[in-house]
Structures are given as structure tokens and as C-alpha cells.
Amino acid sequence: MRISCPSFHDDPEQSIAQTISSIRSAIEDARVKEMRARPVYIVVPPTASGMRSVVRPMKITREMVDIMARAFTSDHKPIMRVVFKAMDLRLEGQKLLENEKLEWTPKRDKMVQSNLKKFEEHLMENLMILASVKGLMRMRVHFGHVAFKEYTKTFSKGKLSFEGFQEMVAVPWMETEFDPE
């Protein structure tokens, strides 16, 4: 954390007051960032007719990113890292057989209900946490196309099952970007 304020040689009391104000502001910002809601990823299960055995990305891009860009001012020496992004997900593989479709439909209904409950619990929990700073923050819901930045090798090779995909999305280190278009 970097805190700075202009020096006031003529009035040291003003300099001290400004420094204390900057420290308080930085502490409040850090407290709000710590309380900030973490994203929750919800996978909507496909219908029985659309269900397939494998989830795979259709496009993987590679780009160089300065991993410390947000932490420093513009005069810092960049630390570059290659970041792969997986986008445009598709269900592929065998279609469900008729008896599997009959089994999938109630399973899907339970998954949808579980997703709704998960979303409601996450929303309520984070609304309560953020209630004390409601004047300082806004809650946002993002809809759009997702680009996965951290994912398993099985996923990038197009061999991840739907259940494995749900597990991958649920891990805490999941990192994504949203494209609103």
C-alpha cells in the first residue's frame, strides 16, 4: 500500500493532518475491498435434448499481460506473463440415450433449484456484509460471454465432462473476464 501526501514546510500540523487523513482513507478502502463480494459462477445445465458428454472451448487465445499493472504507477518496470483465455464453450460428444434423457430431466431440475438457492444465499450473505458500506459501493450483476483465464488442462484439451466442468467452475481460484457483447 502506498500512501503519500504533499509536504507542507510552512505548516507541519497541516502536513500531519493530511497524512493521517490519507492513512484513514487507505484503511477504509482496504476494509471495503476485503469485504467486497466474491463472484459466484453458476452453470445452467442444458436440457436433455441438448446435453452432451463433454464441455470444450472452441477458441483459446494467448496474450502478454503486465501482472503488476494495477499495483503500481505508470513508471514501474512491467512484469509480463503469458495468459491463455478459453472462450466460446460448446457441448460435444454423444447425445443422451432415451433412458438417460429420462434420468437427466429430474437431475437437471434439482440442479436448477440448487443454482437458484446458491444464488439467493450468495446474494443475501453479501448484501448483509456490505450493508455497513452501502453508500460507498454498488452491487453489479454481469451478463455476457465469459473468457476463462485459469482452467484445467483437461478442459483446454476438450476432454472435460459436464460434471468436471461444474467442479472446475466452483473452485476458489477460478478467474474469468466478461465480454458484455
Q: Are residues 27 and 46 in the same domain?
A: no
d(CA 167, CA 164): 5
> What are 71's strand-pairing partners?
none
Contact at 8 Å (CB) between 23 and 62? Answer: no
- Mean pLDDT across the stretch 8-17? 71
Task: List pLDDT tens digits, range 81-136.
Answer: 777 888 888 899 889 999 999 999 999 999 999 999 998 988 888 777 767 666 66
Q: What is the pLDDT of residue 67?
A: 61
Q: Are residues 65 and 78 in the same domain?
A: yes
- Decide: pTM greater than 0.85: no
Domain that holds residue 1: 1-35
Is residue 52 packed enough to be buried (19+ CB in 10 Å), middle (13-18) or exposed (0-12)? middle
d(CA 81, CA 64): 6
Q: Are residues 21 and 69 in the same domain?
A: no
